[in-house]
């Protein structure tokens, strides 16, 4: 692809000349020059400029769709050429929900890179809802999510089991409790993940099945990551509900204590998500690698 095409795709995806410049590590005037040159070459305007905002024109939207397809074809070409010499060249953009990105995927990526060093990896993280949206916007090639809802234009495959557990500070007032009831969870101060988080979605679904009104829970705070929750717990007299995969170190160090909740167990699946439609070679290569990985 021509470099001007790459610049156009970045501007189109960011709808910002300045953000595109940051992403491409070039100056904003350089971005403007490349877009002007491309518009002159195509003899059409690709963007409407209204105040401080820009929008794709009809021609711009057409150009974006076609260039995205061409870019994918180039990536496939790199992969196929690499496969001829068993070098597997190309790139892979992965999105992972916060828990997966922090506690599970780094080891997988390291092993994948060791096996396929010529494949450039790009990991982006956020909550499950954000990752699914990036997937649908073609900003990433596949997503690793922890929610239990599904979208019709995404296909999912389970790759790992997880359990949501109740934990508290080892020095907190609830640390001596041997077990709780679901009724207790409605009274005790709670800290939970933020809206859009797959962990929160799974918790809300399970509580609803237990006929618990989640709006009446004593939620003190929503935090944007499990790490933030773990750092919050030492100075918090309350309970957190978090992924069991995220607290192994703290349980070993005995800084956090796990508390059983009678007749209340939240099991879930971590899932790999891909857009419906044809499967590209490199994402499929990673999919197979992930499903065979020994966690």
179: containing domain: 164-265
> pLDDT tens, 252-282?
999 999 999 888 889 999 999 999 887 788 8
Helix (H, G, I), strand (E, B) or coil at 260: strand
Whole-number Å distance between alpha carbons of 176 and 221: 23
What's the whole-number mean pLDDT along residues 18-25? 88
Question: Is there a domain that residue 122 lies in?
Answer: no
- Domain at 50, CATH number: 1.10.10.10
Q: Using CA atoms, how far apart are residues 103 and 212, in angstroms rounded to an integer? A: 30
Pull the structure tokens for residue 103. Answer: 């506690």
The answer to whether residue 117 sits within a structural domain is no
Asked whether residue 47 carries a pLDDT value surpassing 90, the answer given is yes
Report the number of distinct structural domains present in the chain: 2
The answer as to whether 18 is a domain residue is: yes
Q: Pairing mode, if any, of strands 154-169 and 256-261?
A: antiparallel
**Residue 2: predicted pLDDT:** 84
Q: Which of 66, 84, 101 is the last residue of a domain?
A: 66
Amino acid 112: pLDDT: 95
At 171, list the tokens.
């020095």
Asked if pLDDT for residue 243 goes beyond 90, the answer is: yes
Residue 241, pLDDT score? 94
Average pLDDT over residues 226-255: 92
Q: Is residue 113 part of a domain?
A: no
| CATH value at residue 243 | 3.40.190.290
Average pLDDT in the 63-72 region?
88
- 259: in domain: yes
Q: Which of 94, 163, 95, 160 is nearest to 128 (CA)?
A: 95
pLDDT category at 215 given cuts 50, 70, 90 is confident
Asked if residue 37 belongs to a domain, the reply is yes
Flag whether 91 is in a domain. Answer: no
């Amino acid at each position: 692809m021509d470099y001007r095409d790459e610049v156009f795709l970045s501007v189109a995806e960011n709808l910002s000349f300045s953000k595109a410049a940051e992403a491409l590590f070039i100056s904003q005037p350089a971005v403007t020059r490349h877009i002007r040159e491309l518009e002159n070459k195509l003899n059409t305007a690709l963007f409407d400029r209204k105040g401080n905002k820009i929008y794709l024109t009809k021609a711009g939207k057409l150009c974006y769709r076609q260039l995205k397809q061409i870019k994918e074809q180039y990536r496939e070409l790199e992969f196929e050429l690499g496969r001829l010499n068993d070098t597997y060249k190309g790139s892979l953009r992965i999105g992972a929900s916060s828990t997966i990105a922090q506690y599970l995927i780094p080891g997988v990526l390291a092993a994948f890179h060791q096996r396929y060093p010529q494949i450039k990896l790009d990991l982006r993280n956020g909550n499950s809802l954000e990752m699914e949206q990036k997937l649908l916007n073609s900003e990433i090639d596949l997503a690793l999510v922890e929610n239990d809802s599904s979208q019709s234009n995404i296909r999912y495959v389970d790759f790992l089991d997880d359990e949501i557990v109740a934990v508290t500070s080892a020095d907190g007032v609830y640390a001596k409790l041997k077990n709780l009831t679901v009724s207790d969870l409605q009274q005790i101060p709670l800290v939970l993940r933020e809206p859009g988080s797959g962990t929160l979605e799974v918790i809300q679904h399970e509580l609803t099945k237990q006929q618990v009104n989640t709006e009446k829970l004593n939620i003190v705070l929503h935090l944007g990551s499990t790490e933030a929750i773990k750092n919050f717990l030492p100075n918090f007299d309350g309970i957190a509900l978090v992924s069991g995969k995220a607290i192994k170190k703290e349980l070993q160090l005995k800084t956090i204590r796990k508390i059983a909740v009678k007749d209340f167990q939240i099991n879930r699946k971590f899932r790999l998500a891909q857009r419906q439609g044809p499967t590209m070679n490199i994402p499929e290569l990673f999919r197979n690698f992930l499903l065979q990985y020994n966690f």
